[in-house]
Amino acid sequence: MSEDHSHWMRHAIEQARKGIASGQSPFGAVVVRAGALVAGGHNEVWKRTDPTAHAEVVCIQNAAKALASIDLAGCVMYTTTEPCPMCASAIHWSKLDAVYCGATIADAETAGFTELTLPIEEVYRIGKSKTKAIRGVLVAECAHLFSEWKAARGRAY
């Protein structure tokens, strides 16, 4: 992976760490456009008492506000873990060009998150989405967030 992809994934990792520090689950995401950070977000399920407040959804909401638009075409997302089907759909609906993923949904399941384990590529294939899903960005660093989270709190949804 290129240095730029690593750079932006590290921003997503920092978002996840902010979430862990505030008692949330270990997921973070950022939206980038033309080499500039648009917005970030981390999981806020417990904070909002909202089971849909996953990092990707929170990040999309923040990006839409920052750009004053629900159309995020021309932007890409970096997320510390492969998105669940709900988040993959939100990424599609917001028209993000691509999503770069760190850890896998299987890693999340191993850590205790009972996501629907439908791979993002399958969600996009079934839905005929134009959004590209790219795996393999800082996988080990992203997967390590689950260990950090377990040491700090360790309670899944």
Catalytic entry in 44, 56, 82, 115 = 56
Q: Rounded to whole angstroms, how far apart are CA atoms 12 and 62?
A: 14
Q: How far apart are CA 99 and CA 82, in angstroms?
A: 9
Q: Is 56 a catalytic residue?
A: yes
Contacts of 112 by beta carbon, 8 Å cutoff, 6+ apart: 154, 156
Q: How far apart are CA 55 and CA 61, in angstroms?
A: 10
CA nearest 31: which of 56, 6, 7, 14?
Answer: 56
What angle, rounded to 10 degrees, do the helices at 55-67 and 85-93 form?
Answer: 10
Single-letter residue type at 129: S
Residue 136: strand, helix, or coil:
coil
Residues annotated catalytic, as ranges? 56
